[in-house]
Amino acid sequence: MIGVYGPPWNLVPMGSIMNKGITVRTNQASVKRLLPKMIDHVMSGRLNPKGLITHRIPLEEISDAYHMFSAKRDNIIKPLLIPPHAGVA
């Protein structure tokens, strides 16, 4: 999974997390190092990411998609957001 950084640490309610005994685990993906190899695998056919995508959703419907994902409806796991005029099948 490739992700991005969230807000600075001081916006995370660490006291509440500690009081509730929640375990937080983090890790870092070496995106700059691994992305070219991943693209090579996709381009050569060794990796087919289509099998990971559970839903294809037009960007204009992002609000509905968020609610579907949040409510865990329709077995949504990995949605692909399609921008207008992208021509993705």
Domain ranges of the chain: 9-82
**How confident is the model over 20-77, as pLDDT tens digits?**
988 888 888 888 899 999 999 999 999 998 888 999 999 999 999 999 988 989 999 8
The secondary element (H helix, E strand) that includes residue 58 is strand 55-58
- Residue 5 in this model has a pLDDT that exceeds 60: no
At position 4, the amino acid (one-letter code) is V
The residue whose two tokens read 């005029």 is 85
**What is the C-alpha separation between 21 and 34, in angstroms, rounded?**
34
Q: Output b/e per residue, 23-49; b: 16+ Cβ within 10 A.
A: eeeeeeeeeeeeeeeeeeeeeeeeeee
Q: What is the pLDDT of residue 88?
A: 57
